[in-house]
Structure 1
Amino acid sequence: MDSIHIQIPSIIENIRIIESFIDNVKEAYQISDDIYGNIMVAVTEAVNNAIVHGNKQDRTKNVDLSLHFHEDMIRFVVEDEGEGFDYHHLPDPTDPENLHKPHGRGIYLIKQLCDEVKFKNNGKCIELIFYINGQY
């Protein structure tokens, strides 16, 4: 199993660092375009949530991103220094009363793009799991 870890300050522009990181991972491990697209959107959304909602864009707080390659899956772990959130009771963004709200779709989107999503540490940590069927 390979593991890679990076840490970024909670500045929204640092999403570019995460995008470059994912591009490099795609090249290094020959990840298919289908999985790559899902990874790019889900991981950048999770990091964005950590910066904006978790750490409240406090530049003194960091977001940690780690990546773990297994034979048949890739696992990304995003962790912030915020207070966490109640991930058991999120509003449904597909509910008609929520369709026009400007926020509230990120976790829903992440769950649609990943094969598995796990929350830990009161919502301060999210694991995004992508199955790759032994091919990457």
Structure 2
Amino acid sequence: MNDIAISIPSLTENIRIVESFIDNAKDQLQINDDIYGNIMIAITESVNNAIIHGNAADKSKNVELRCAVEDNVVVFYVTDEGAGFDYNSLPDPTSPENIDKPGGRGIFLMKALCDELQFLEEGRKVKLSFYVD
């Protein structure tokens, strides 16, 4: 199994590094163009959440991004050093009372763009799976 990973300090400007990482993963793991756009948006959103919410934008804390292909599934793991969160009690961004709020759509978007989304380690680690075939 081909496995590539990076660790970045929790600074929002490091999203550029994440975009380069995804481009390199696309080439190394031969990710097709059909899912590339979904991967780019979902992973950058996940890393952004890890930086801002997980690590509270504390640049002394890192976000780890790991990617592998497992049985025709491209899998990304995004791990932060925060306290985790209760992913079962997130407000629904599509409900009328939340529709005009500027935040709260990240996880909703991630769920829509990937084939499987799992929260591990009390929410400190997110597994995003994208089916290749």
Aligned-pair Cα RMSD in Å: 0.8
Q: Which residue of 2 aligns with 1:72?
A: 72
How far did residue 11 of structure 1 move? 0.5
Distance 1:127 1:69 in 2: 13
Normalised by the length of structure 2, the TM-score is 0.97
> Which sections of structure 1, spanning at least 5 residues, go unmatched?
none
Counterpart code for 1:115: D
How far did residue 67 of structure 1 move? 0.6
How far did residue 49 of structure 1 move? 0.1
Q: Which residue of 2 aligns with 1:52?
A: 52
Normalised by the length of structure 1, the TM-score is 0.95
Distance 1:28 1:5 in 2: 12
Give secondary structure in 1 for the equivalent of 2:87.
Answer: coil
Displacement over 3 Å in runs of 4+: none
How far did residue 118 of structure 1 move? 0.6
- CA contact under 8 A between 2:25 and 2:67: conserved in structure 1? no
Give runs of aligned pairs for residues 83-122 of structure 1, distance below 5 A.
83-122=83-122
How far did residue 122 of structure 1 move? 0.7
- CA contact under 8 A between 2:4 and 2:25: conserved in structure 1? no
Distance 1:5 1:90 in 2: 29
Counterpart code for 2:101: K
Give secondary structure in 1 for the equivalent of 2:122.
Answer: helix
Distance 1:130 1:104 in 2: 22
Distance 2:46 2:24 in 1: 18
How far did residue 29 of structure 1 move? 2.9
Residue 33 in 1 paired to residue 46 in 2?
no
How far did residue 24 of structure 1 move? 1.4
How far did residue 107 of structure 1 move? 0.3
Give secondary structure in 2 for the equivalent of 1:58.
Answer: coil
1:63-113 Cα deviation digits (max 9, x unpaired): 011111123111000000001110001100000110110110000000000
Give runs of aligned pairs for residues 5-44 of structure 1, distance below 5 A.
5-44=5-44
- CA contact under 8 A between 2:2 and 2:29: conserved in structure 1? no
Percent pairwise identity: 59
Q: Which residue of 2 aligns with 1:126?
A: 126
Distance 2:132 2:27 in 1: 15
